[in-house]
Amino acid sequence: MDKKEMEEKIIEQYRQDENMMILVFAQWCVNNGLKPEELYHEAYPDQGSNKELEKTLELTVSKEESEPIPDTTVLNVLQLFENDDLAFIVNREVENRNKQEKD
């Protein structure tokens, strides 16, 4: 494998991993009754719509069909891909949910 092939393979692997991160985020939102597009736009208001998120939404399933996704998992995955602004918004939603559950 030459250098160019190796670079292409690394880039493709990163894209696949990034798509998995988007799917984890989107499914977590569905599971928690949140709209992923709204949270994304709140975190990144200048970016407009996210085509990858829109495509990934088609892969999500209903809350009833999904396995639970722990809050820490989605936060860790977002931070791994340096989506700190989105992780901040997700964390706020977690805190709001926890506060409502206490009331």
pLDDT-based confidence at 96, cuts 50/70/90? Answer: very high
Nearby residues of 42 by Cβ (< 8 Å), 6 or more positions away: 89
Residue 85 lies in a domain: yes
Please tell me the predicted confidence (pLDDT) of residue 88. Answer: 97
User: How confident is the model over 21-45, as a mean pLDDT?
Assistant: 96
Residue 94 lies in a domain: yes
Nearest-angstrom CA–CA distance, 71 and 3: 39
User: How confident is the model over 58-75, as a mean pLDDT?
Assistant: 96
Residue 45 lies in a domain: no
Quote the tokens at residue 3.
């250098």
Please tell me the predicted confidence (pLDDT) of residue 48. Answer: 86
pLDDT-based confidence at 103, cuts 50/70/90? Answer: confident
Please tell me the predicted confidence (pLDDT) of residue 22. Answer: 95
Quote the tokens at residue 56.
């990934």
Residue 83 lies in a domain: yes
pTM for the whole thing?
0.90
Residue 81 lies in a domain: yes
Its domain, for residue 33, covers 28-40+71-98
Q: How many domains does the chain have?
A: 1
Residue 76 lies in a domain: yes
Q: How far is CA 26 from CA 6, 9, 39, 65, 95, in A?
A: 30, 26, 10, 14, 18
Residue 46 lies in a domain: no
Residue 62 lies in a domain: no
